[in-house]
Every structure is written in structure tokens, then in C-alpha cells.
Amino acid sequence: MTMPVRILVVDDEQHIRNSLATWFREEGYDVGVAASGKDALAAVAREGTNILLVDIKMPGMDGLELQRKVRELAPDATIIIMTAYASVETAVQALKEGAYDYIVKPFDPEAVSRLVRKAAERYSLLAENRALRERIAGASPALITSGSPAMAKVIELVDQVAPTDTNVLITGESGTGKELVAHLIHAKSTRRFGPFVVENCGALAEGVLESELFGHERGAFTGAVGRHRGKIEMANEGTLFLDEIGDVPPKVQVDLLRVVQERELKRVGGSETIKVDFRLVTATHRDLEAEVAAGRFRDDFYFRINVFQIPLPPLRERSGDVPALAEHFLQQFATQMNRRISGFSQDAMAALMTYPWPGNVRELANAIERAVVLCRGDRIEASHFPFAGPPASADHSLAAIEEAHIRQMLAACSYNVAQAARELDIDRVTLYNKMKKFGIERP
């Protein structure tokens, strides 16, 4: 997840405003300019701003006063002070009052770029962590701390391992809540005030995954126009969560093993050795022991990441949790859509309880969301679920069973064809052909 970053350049000198704005727009940022403190406050109130570059000496409202007023409007905004040598003492005062850093005129272009890039990464991580904390706070009562013995065992394991720095491998089918458990481990650990950094290893090609994990230096490959810090560096003093670790190519497994053992890395195309301190949590829906036996996954890397394993049960093995989960999602989606729905009919709840949920909790959430959209009364009915067709006319042919399974898996994966193909253990071309054969269209 990458959070969009907006920069506001505040300086009474037009050539500085324009040159910095052009500069950062070329680097891909959304940039605004303001010629005074008054204009800057109006821009922050009107458009919102994540990073402000503020001149310390301006007529009227100076940089210090502007910083104090911005704090009232946007407490999370990152402020970088721009100053001349003669005003460094004032810039230091700004740091004491909460400024992120300061830069001295005339600017070194590379130094300014690095500083802003670092501030942008910091903002993105803080925003992502805030969103994840909200998710875990809202979801954990129903999704994780439910009353089933299977989930009680999961919580017991989390409580045992969270206070340590031990590497954790979370296993389970797609949709069982592996990322939520990973975040719960982080939230209960001594690193909870550090970053929680997520990378889905199954979604990226090998070269892209290397760059995302280890970072790269300018010129490392075509299109590498600047230095890029990887997810491992960004997770320093926090937790690195690598989802779908079973999809990591062998070469990247070797490089990751070295980082996990030595706690240091080199960016792609770089020679500098960078020390890193992070807690590693990984997850997979694959049987890694079988992958190791088949030669598709390195045994030394497997043993390194599988120091402590937490298996998550599929929803069909904790069917007693379905009513509480369904009520949780009903309240969530009804509130989001401003709908007044009191609950489920008896037939609807029976349908939920008897369905096998191949897509687990994620599929249940999707089914409830769809039902809320379709519902026109004050109760969810069985007919609002895509899997609750009339049993008397059911087609039990092999083709019908295959079609139903494909439809269920696509729904569980929110019609992400690549993910559904992995879950079905077929390639995407085959899945597209089967979708065409059965007349299945992506919504």
C-alpha cells in the first residue's frame, strides 16, 4: 500500500517556489506553492498537505509562527524548514518545536531529494500503520478473539511469541486472516512503536521484488532515476511482514537468508553495507515442507523463517464462529452503506452455517457485503447469497461442480484472477479459458 503524498512549498521568493515545485513534480509528487504564511494556511485547510517546505524568514508570518498554526490544522503534517546560514539558530528552534529537519540555502539538489523522500516514506509508513491499527482494532473482536477453541489456540500462540524477537511463520488457507494475526503479533511486541511494513511476495516479478525488498541505487537498472529504500530498510526497529513467502524465487530466498542471518544488506546496484534491525514475520498458504521436498523452496531458508509456526484454521473448522463473524460484517457494511438491517432470517443463517467457505473469512465478508447491497427489507435472506440456490434443481454434473467451485473462488478473491488461479492451482490462461467456457464475467 502506497499512500499519496502532497508537498507544499512556502517561500516569498518566486524563483525558489517555482524551481522546487518543478523539481518535485518531476519526481512524481503532487506539489502546491504558497508565497506567504497566510496563503499556506489557506492551502492546508483547503487541500490538505502532508509535507511542507517552509522558509524561516518571510514578511508577515514567519516560518516559526506558520509551523505552530499548521500544527493546529494538520497535526500529522511533516514540516521541513528552509533557512540561510544566518538563521540556522532559528531553524534549530523550529526543530525543538517539532519540525522534521531543516535545509540550508543554497540547496544541494540531491540532499533535498533524499530528505523529502525520507519524509515521504515516513509519512506513508505512519499512515499505513494508523490504517492497520484501525483495522486491527475494529476487526480483532470478531475475526481473531472469537470463542472457538481453534482461535483460542491461535491467540495463545500469539501471546507466547509476541514479546520475543523470534521469526514467525503463519500458515493457513487464503482468507483466514494471516495479515491480521501478523499485525497482532507486532501490536503485542516490544517493537509496537516501530513500523509494520508489509510486502506481498506473490504479486511481483523477481526483479521488482528484489528492488522492493532491498532497495536500489540510482542507475541500477533502466528507470532507476534515484535511490530507493527497500521494505527491509523501512522496517528498521519494527516488523517486516512478508506475505506469500512460498512464492519467493530461489535467488531472492538466498539474499533474504543472508539478510536475516547477518542483519545487513546492500541495495541493488550498490556497494554500501547497511545495518538493519527488524523482526521477521512471514505467511503462506502453501505446504512449505512439500515445496522443500520437491526442491522448489530452500530448506535452509525454510528452517530460518519457521522458528515458530502459527497455523490458522479454515472457517469450515470453526463454523461456530460464523454467526458472530456474519453479525460483525453486517454491522460494518450496513453502517458504511447507511442501511437499516436488523439481522438474518433463519434460512439465511442456515445457509451461512452449512456453506463450506472455500475462501474463508474473506469470502464471508464479500458475501455479506453483496447481501447488504441486494437487501431491500430489514433482514438478510438466503436468496441474497450467491451460493444459496434452490437445492431441488441443482446440477450435480462434474462441469457444474467445477463451475461452482471456480465462481466461489473468484468471489472469495474479489475476482483477482491471478490470486484465484494460485488458489485453484492452475495458471491464469487456463482460468481465463474456463471463465469464458462457463460465461463467468468479472463484475
What would the mean pLDDT of 179-203 be, rounded to a whole number? Answer: 90
Domain ranges of the chain: 6-121, 144-311, 316-438
Identify the residue whose cell numbers are 430489514.
Answer: 378
With a cut of 70, say whether residue 418 has pLDDT above it: yes
CATH of domain 316-438: 1.10.8.60
For the stretch 273-323, pLDDT in tens is 999 999 999 999 999 999 999 999 999 999 999 999 999 999 988 888 898
Length of the chain: 443
In this prediction the pTM is 0.62
Check: CB of residue 48 under 8 Å from CB of residue 4: no
10 Å Cβ neighbour count for 417? Answer: 14
pLDDT digits (tens, 9 = 90+) for 336-386: 898 999 999 999 999 999 899 999 998 999 999 999 999 999 999 999 998
Q: Is the pLDDT of residue 393 over 50?
A: no
Confidence of residue 118 (pLDDT cuts 50, 70, 90): confident
Please identify, in words, the CATH class of the domain defined by 6-121.
Answer: alpha beta
d(CA 196, CA 126): 9
Three-state secondary-structure class, residue 35:
coil
Q: Which three cell numbers stand for residue 257?
A: 537468508
Does 6-121 match 144-311 in CATH topology?
A: yes
Instruction: Please enumerate in sequence order all residues whose Cβ is within 8 A of that of 27, keeping only pairs 6 or more positions apart, or say none.
Output: 113, 117, 226
- Using one digit for the tens of pLDDT, what is the confidence trace for 26-70? 888 889 999 999 999 999 988 888 899 999 889 999 999 999 999
Residue 109, classed as helix, strand or coil, is helix
Rounded distance, CA 105 to CA 20, Å? 12
Q: Which numeric CATH code is attached to 144-311? A: 3.40.50.300
